[in-house]
């Protein structure tokens, strides 16, 4: 004899000592509940995208229906239900989560993200630009020092450029970006090294910010590598080719480095000069700004990687590469310093 039993959100058939999952029976038993949740979400989306304008009866029921559907999804996964059913419920639960979990101000998660990148992040970058500027200046100092040391004696390049990457540096000295007979992979090896090195510098500068000294050293070291390479390339006559192969992605990549270095030094400064805060509170206040600054480095590094792989080492004319680099710089400057009217009004209030 077949006995059907329901236990909360589980549904199974018991025959003798075996318990068998019956997907069709489960669907027929639950589909009314799933349709109910779908209908509620559709009614909510017809308004402002939230559930605030729903009838009281829907508001009282939606939480329970959502939780039961989540439980159904979890149960079906344990029973290895068909992928189509799992995907259907996964999408339904995901849609419900996006509508239900709106903050107390009534702003959706997407609006919160847009507010962060459109208002909070540029405001933080502008307020902490002094630290970003210091990171830039330290990098320039390292670059100039290494440049003059290597120009005075080319053998000194080994002090700044690791030996295992000297062959790749030689490719830059041959203007590999303008000569198809030089394998792209050979010259690109050093570029890849620079990118991975810069990412490690960004993370390291932030992670060691509490020490204050290490972010400064990392900024200096990063500049020294670039300065030594410039000194090696300049006598070859391929310096323009070098900059055309560096700047298109370097504007974003190096900006990310400066921001990360500034974020690290900001944390260290909270310990050195907490101002009106205790050192513990200063770490919290400055640390929040530093984390926001690090978020800015993510899209910059992603964009740098895309440009490097498709433009920097391509056969695109130098003028277009330099124009792209200039456009990137202007766009970033506008993002930080051109404040929309809404943001200006909010700041004045």
DSSP character string of 233-253: HGGGT-HHHHHHHHHHHHHHH
Task: Note the pLDDT tens digit of each residue in 167-204.
Answer: 777 777 877 666 543 455 544 555 565 566 667 777 87
CB 226 within 8 A of CB 243: no
**Two tokens, residue 223:** 């500049």
**Residue 266 and residue 210: Cα distance in Å, rounded?**
9
Determine if residue 237 is left, alpha or beta; phi over 0 gives left, psi from -120 to 50 gives alpha, anything else beta.
Answer: left
**Two tokens, residue 203:** 């993370």
pLDDT reported for residue 195? 63
**Residue 269 and residue 209: Cα distance in Å, rounded?**
9
Picking from 252, 232, 76, the residue whose alpha carbon sits closest to that of residue 151 is 232
CB 293 within 8 A of CB 260: yes
For 10, list phi and psi in degrees, rounded to 5.
Answer: -105, 150
- How high is the mean pLDDT in each 10-residue block of the chain (349 residues)? 38 49 82 87 67 71 85 85 86 80 58 84 94 95 96 90 74 67 49 64 76 85 90 90 89 93 90 81 86 91 82 84 96 88 48
What's the whole-model pTM score? 0.65
Strand partners, 251: none
Strand partners, 10: 7
**Burial (CB count <10 Å: 0-12, 13-18, 19+), residue 171:** buried
Task: Note the pLDDT tens digit of each residue in 255-309.
Answer: 999 999 999 999 888 888 887 778 888 888 888 899 999 999 989 988 888 887 7
**Residue 303 and residue 296: Cα distance in Å, rounded?**
12
**Residue 21 and residue 118: Cα distance in Å, rounded?**
50
pLDDT reported for residue 50? 59
What are the extents of the domains in the chain?
A: 3-102, 116-339
């Amino acid at each position: 004899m077949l006995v059907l039993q329901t236990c909360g959100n589980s549904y199974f058939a018991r025959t003798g000592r075996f318990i068998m999952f019956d997907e069709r029976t489960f669907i027929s038993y639950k589909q009314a509940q799933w349709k109910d949740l779908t209908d509620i979400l559709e009614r909510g989306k017809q308004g402002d995208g939230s559930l605030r304008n729903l009838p009281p009866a829907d508001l009282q029921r939606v939480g329970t229906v959502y939780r039961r559907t989540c439980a159904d999804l979890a149960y079906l996964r344990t029973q290895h239900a068909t992928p189509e059913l799992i995907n259907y419920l996964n999408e339904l639960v995901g849609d419900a989560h996006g509508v239900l979990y709106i903050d107390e101000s009534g702003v959706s998660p997407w609006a919160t993200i847009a507010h962060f990148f459109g208002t909070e992040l540029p405001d933080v970058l502008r307020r902490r630009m002094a630290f970003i500027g210091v990171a830039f200046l330290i990098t320039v100092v390292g670059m100039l020092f290494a440049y003059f040391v290597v120009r005075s004696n080319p053998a000194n390049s080994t002090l700044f450029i690791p030996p295992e990457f000297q062959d790749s540096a030689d490719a830059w000295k041959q203007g590999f970006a303008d000569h198809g007979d030089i394998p792209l992979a050979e010259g690109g090896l050093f570029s890849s090294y620079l990118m991975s090195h810069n990412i490690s510098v960004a993370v390291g500068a932030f992670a060691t910010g509490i020490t204050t000294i290490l972010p400064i050293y990392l900024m200096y070291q990063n500049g020294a590598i670039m300065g030594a390479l410039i000194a090696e390339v300049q006598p070859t006559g391929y310096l323009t080719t070098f900059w055309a192969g560096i700047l298109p992605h370097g504007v974003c990549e190096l900006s990310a480095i400066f921001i990360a270095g500034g974020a690290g030094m900001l944390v260290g400064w909270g310990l050195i000069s907490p101002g009106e805060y205790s050192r513990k509170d200063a770490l919290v206040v400055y640390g929040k700004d530093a984390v926001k600054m690090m978020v800015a480095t993510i899209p910059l590094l992603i964009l740098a990687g895309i440009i490097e792989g498709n433009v920097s080492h391509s056969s695109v004319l130098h003028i277009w590469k330099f124009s792209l680099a200039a456009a990137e710089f202007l766009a970033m400057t506008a993002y930080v310093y051109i404040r929309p009217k809404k943001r200006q009004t909010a700041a004045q209030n």
